[in-house]
């Protein structure tokens, strides 16, 4: 497991960009008791999703207002059509941990709870 951040590092916006060697830029998303990690790049306009906002379980891209469900990566609002990558995480003792096999992004992650 690779530590990404502490729960307390995630700002009130619920979005925290992080970098891990060997992976694309990542975005830690927290809403309620759930924590998810997705690719930080919009699949539509190549904009950083960390510049957008979290609305419930969806991250909205600042550039064209496309949205993605951070639990599944699915595009939920046009103009975004293609999903974004999601990565398996766990929260242990207040630390968000990326699974060691995270190089294999998936499309249907289970939420991490703290």
How confident is the model over 5-27, as pLDDT tens digits?
A: 999 999 988 999 999 888 889 99
Report residues of the chain scoring pLDDT below 50: 107-114
- Beta-carbon contacts of residue 54 (< 8 Å; ≥ 6 apart): 13, 14, 15, 29, 31, 60, 70
Specify the pLDDT at position 70.
97
What φ, ψ does residue 96 adopt, rounded to 5°?
-85, 120
pLDDT, residue 47, reads 92
Distance CA 65, CA 25 (A): 20
Task: Note the pTM of the prediction, 2 decimals.
Answer: 0.86
Nearest to 84 by CA among 60, 110, 56: 60
CATH 2.102.10.10 matches 2-113: yes
């Amino acid at each position: 497991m690779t530590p990404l951040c502490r729960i307390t590092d995630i700002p009130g916006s619920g979005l925290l960009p992080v970098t891990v060697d060997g992976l694309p830029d990542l975005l830690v998303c927290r809403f309620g008791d759930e924590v998810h990690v997705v690719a930080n790049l919009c699949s539509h306009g190549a904009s950083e999703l960390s510049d957008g906002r979290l609305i419930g379980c969806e991250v909205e891209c600042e550039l064209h207002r496309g949205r993605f469900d951070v639990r599944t990566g699915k595009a939920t609002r046009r103009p975004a059509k293609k999903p974004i990558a999601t990565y398996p995480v766990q929260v242990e003792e207040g630390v968000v941990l990326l699974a060691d096999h995270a190089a294999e992004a998936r499309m249907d992650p289970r939420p991490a709870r703290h």
